[in-house]
Amino acid sequence: MRYGGLSWVQAVFYAVGAAVIGIIAHSANMLTRKSIGRARLLWAIYAVAAVVTAITESEEVLLFLAAGVLVWLVRAPPEFRRLRGRVPAVLLAPAGFGVSGVGGLDWDLLGRILAFFTYAGAFVFGSGLAIVPFLYGGVVKEHGWLTDQQFLDAVGVALITPGPAVITTGFIGFLLAGLSGAFVAAAATFLPAYFLTIIPAPYFRKYGKQAGVAAFVDGVTAAAIGAVSGAVVVLGRRSIVDLPTALIAAVTVFLLWKVKVPEPLIILAAAVLGLLICPA
């Protein structure tokens, strides 16, 4: 699939892609410092998740769940007698609709978009950027819907808007199937989080502070942050291609860390810099 073709567009995203890597790297560092602390078990989970993501170039949902269960068993082991007869139900099996061409829309493609982004919205844990490596693994590696550069361009465009996580999915959906694809992808990403918040809300106060629940969340969070860090390596291999892009990524991290420049301004500045470095 192709989109855009003008040399000035390529020049813009040459620099924007490098800035995106800097933003994700800074976010991963901030999340790591705030969430993991000094717990050796969480650091081990973080490292494993980062390495697995960097090697496989995708997020492994089962790794997230296993990390949560591991920390739960170590910190607050359950009384297994109370669990007798209870069967957990946490699996979501996405499937395409298999219907094509009705009403002028590619319903088969829309069904696959709906299934994948619902799966992403339901099983991605952590900050908004935690969805980036998950999306990359599905959109680029598994389905082949977008190229590496197209995916980075989508993330770059989203970072200059409010709510970049949902905008990223909406923009990817637009590239795949126009306005209908954008609507389906954005809605599918948002709705699982909405329903998983609204429906069990009455139980949050009752169970949210229990030791087992808190331990599970800590484990999942450590794995999610590790995946974001691994994604920096995966995406960086595509965007940091020479000295100028390396400098742009490094300056981006410095501006976010020391100067506190807003991310949209950095993306816009990178776009202008790309035009100056690589004039059409």
Where are the chain's structural domains? 40-76+210-238
At 252 the pLDDT is: 93
Residue with tokens 């009752």: 206
At 46 the pLDDT is: 92
Residue pair 216/72 in contact by the 8 Å Cβ criterion: yes
Residue pair 147/75 in contact by the 8 Å Cβ criterion: no
DSSP the chain: ------HHHHHHHHHHHHHHHHHHHHHHHHHHHHHTTT-HHHHHHHHHHHHHHHHHSS--HHHHHHHHHHHHHHHS---GGGGTT---------------SGGGS-HHHHHHHHHHHHHHHHH--SSGGGHHHHHIIIIIIIS--S-HHHHHHHHHHHTTSSSHHHHHHHHHHHHHHHHHHHHHHHHHHHHHHHHHHHTTHHHHHHHTTSHHHHHHHHHHHHHHHHHHHHHHHHHHHHH--SHHHHHHHHHHHHIIIII---HHHHHHHHHHHHHHHS--
Blockwise average pLDDT, block size 10, the chain, 280 residues: 53 85 86 83 93 82 87 81 44 39 69 88 64 80 84 76 73 89 88 74 66 84 86 85 91 90 88 78
What is the sign, positive or negative, of the torsion defined by CA atoms of 129, 181, 122, 41? negative
Nearest to 231 by CA among 223, 243, 220, 219: 223
Nearest to 270 by CA among 248, 242, 255, 244: 248
Nearest to 270 by CA among 257, 260, 253, 69: 253
pTM of the model: 0.64
Compute the distance between CA of residue 25 and CA of residue 230 in angstroms, rounded to an integer: 10
Nearest to 220 by CA among 57, 46, 101: 46
At 276 the pLDDT is: 85
Residue with tokens 């709906």: 114
Compute the distance between CA of residue 126 and CA of residue 63 in angstroms, rounded to an integer: 14
At 17 the pLDDT is: 86
At 121 the pLDDT is: 77
| Angle, vertex CA 173, rays to CA 169 and CA 179, nearest 5 | 120
Compute the distance between CA of residue 147 and CA of residue 58 in angstroms, rounded to an integer: 15
Compute the distance between CA of residue 54 and CA of residue 44 in angstroms, rounded to an integer: 15
At 3 the pLDDT is: 39
At 85 the pLDDT is: 45
At 134 the pLDDT is: 75
